[in-house]
Amino acid sequence: MQANRALSRTKFSSLARWSFAAIALGAWVGLPGLPLPASAVTITRTSDSVFYTDIPKGLSCGYASYVISNDTASTTYSNIWVKVDTFSGTVVKPGGGDPGIYSLDNLAPGQIKMAFTYLLATSTTSVAQSHTVRVYEGYPGTGGTALTNVTFSLTVKSTLENNSSKVNSVTYSPNPPILGGLVQINVLGDCGNVQNNDAIDFTPAAFTNWNAAAFEMVGVSLTLTNNH
């Protein structure tokens, strides 16, 4: 029998509220990577295939997000783990000490859960950088059963400079966070002017010194308001 394991990490969710001046704002959604395999459990990337950075300002990191879905009608998968590994290329790699392995507990029929991994880019590049997301029933490497895997690719671009885009405040609770507990981070800010078909990229952390080894992202809520 495969025993459950728990990593000694504090989980966090991010609640962001941003105001922006919109000019015919176009919808933008992150695209999935390579085609999904035929499987009862599927992996879909919900972050973009372009990784945006501002490396001269120290903003070299960001979270990538994936939906893990149980597409069966009656099968419950227990003790689900997600592992991110097999990074190709020399530019994109795990950031902030992120261990690349995440526990999702059980996955009921029709249920979806999110997995987030913290990535670091050392430069911009148009050359695809790939990594593989794997789903296991049971802990990987100690009897866990591989259910599915998908390889995704990224290119890296610099963000546009905009003095109106800024963070106004960051708060969190509880203070201090509790090991193994849940902490909520609240971020308030402004996007500045958003033009038609602009891509707006949000990430709860972007610095290389964010301790992704200690904090595991489990959810995000984003509220946008139009100032005009």
Q: Of the candidates 86, 134, 136, 120, which has an alpha carbon nearest to the alpha carbon of residue 213?
A: 120
Q: What pLDDT, on the 0 to 100 scale, is given for residue 130?
A: 98
| Residue 218, strand partner residues | none
pLDDT digits (tens, 9 = 90+) for 35-66: 434 459 999 999 999 999 999 999 999 999 99
Measure the CA–CA gap between 102 and 216, rounded to whole angstroms: 8
In a domain, 3, yes or no: no
Measure the CA–CA gap between 203 and 160, rounded to whole angstroms: 16
pLDDT digits (tens, 9 = 90+) for 126-184: 999 999 999 999 999 899 999 999 999 999 999 877 677 788 899 999 998 888 899 99
Domain tally, the chain: 1
Q: What pLDDT, on the 0 to 100 scale, is given for residue 14?
A: 62
Task: State whether the Cα torsion 51-56-60-62 is positive or negative.
Answer: negative
In a domain, 50, yes or no: yes
In a domain, 114, yes or no: yes
In a domain, 139, yes or no: yes
In a domain, 16, yes or no: yes
Percent of the chain scoring above 70 in pLDDT: 81
Mean pLDDT, rounded, for 185-206: 83
In a domain, 1, yes or no: no
Q: Is pLDDT at 95 greater than 80 in this prediction?
A: yes
The pairs formed by 99-103 with CB atoms below 8 angstroms and a separation of 24 or more are 99/7, 99/213, 101/7, 101/140, 102/216, 103/5, 103/6, 103/7, 103/79
The average confidence (pLDDT) of the chain is 84
Measure the CA–CA gap between 183 and 56, rounded to whole angstroms: 30
Measure the CA–CA gap between 197 and 94, rounded to whole angstroms: 30
DSSP E strand stretches across the chain: 10-22, 41-45, 50-53, 61-70, 77-85, 92-94, 101-107, 112-121, 125-137, 145-158, 166-173, 182-194, 215-226
In a domain, 4, yes or no: no
The CATH number that applies at residue 97 is 2.60.40.10
Beta-strand relationship, 145-158 and 50-53 = parallel
> Amino acid identity, residue 11?
K
In a domain, 41, yes or no: yes
Q: What pLDDT, on the 0 to 100 scale, is given for residue 192?
A: 75
- pTM value is 0.83
Q: What's the domain range around 171? A: 10-226
Mean pLDDT, rounded, for 55-79: 96
